[in-house]
Copies of this chain bind each other. A is one copy, B any other.
């Protein structure tokens, strides 16, 4: 049965691939699983029908048969567990790949989202200029630690995994800030993720949705 995911009808990132459907699309492309997409507006996301799928009123969701899931990390893990290509078979190596999924979505993502949220919601506040360096420093510390750990390896643990998929997704949120570029190995790592054919297909698909939404408006 073909899974159905939800995505923004008109993504606020204007098709830059930063919405949370992107890692799910990418994971589905990596394992070669066809899927359908149901587009939702901001208003629809907050209605009871969508909240029955995701109580927090967000995208993405994932439906397959009787299963309904939300949380992009949990969806990517489900896909990775049921298909070859995103997690090692051996138990300990598998746990370590999953560890990087959590590291991406918690330790790395928390300061990155806080930095990004401030840039959106507090740009016109009197304290913005003073807070920003603090937020940027917190991001820099984590990037430095990740850079040290990655060193000159291609991926975080041997072969590409769902951990890399989520880490690259999180690092891409810093695009345009120059933060990742301070660490050339992380910039190369992020580019390496973005050069994967599955990434490119997922990116084009989400961009096509945004372009279509703009044409409808025009």
The secondary-structure label for the interface of chain A is: helix
Within A79-100, the residues touching B (CB, 8 Å) are: 92, 95-96, 98-99
A106 near B106 (CB under 8 angstroms)? Answer: yes
The docked-state distance in angstroms from the alpha carbon of A109 to that of B56 is 13
A 9-48 binary contact with B (CB < 8 Å = 1; else 0)? 0000000000000000000000000000000000000000
A181 is an interface residue with CB less than 8 A from chain B:
no
B148 near A99 (CB under 8 angstroms)? Answer: no
Within A95-112, the residues touching B (CB, 8 Å) are: 95-96, 98-99, 101-103, 105-107, 109-110
Number of interface residues of A (CB under 8 A): 42
Within A120-142, the residues touching B (CB, 8 Å) are: 121-122, 125-127, 130-131, 134, 142
Residues of chain B with a CB closer than 8 A to A109's CB = 106, 110
A69 is an interface residue with CB less than 8 A from chain B:
yes
Smallest CB separation, A102 vs chain B (Å): 4
B142 near A71 (CB under 8 angstroms)? Answer: no
Residues of chain B with a CB closer than 8 A to A78's CB = 95, 98
Contacting residue for A149 out of B55, B98, B99, B107, CB 8 A: B55
Contacting residue for A103 out of B70, B77, B122, B131, CB 8 A: B70
A74 is an interface residue with CB less than 8 A from chain B:
yes
Residues of chain B with a CB closer than 8 A to A103's CB = 56, 70-71, 74
Smallest CB separation, A84 vs chain B (Å): 17
A99 near B69 (CB under 8 angstroms)? Answer: yes
Residues of chain B with a CB closer than 8 A to A105's CB = 102, 105-106
Smallest CB separation, A88 vs chain B (Å): 13
A95 near B74 (CB under 8 angstroms)? Answer: yes
User: Can you report 11 A-B residue pairs in the complex whose CB atoms are below 8 A from each other?
Assistant: A51-B148, A55-B146, A56-B103, A58-B107, A66-B92, A67-B92, A69-B95, A69-B96, A73-B106, A74-B103, A77-B98
Chain A positions within 8 Å of B, measured between CB atoms, are 51, 55-58, 66-67, 69-71, 73-74, 77-78, 92, 95-96, 98-99, 101-103, 105-107, 109-110, 113-114, 121-122, 125-127, 130-131, 134, 142, 145-146, 148-149
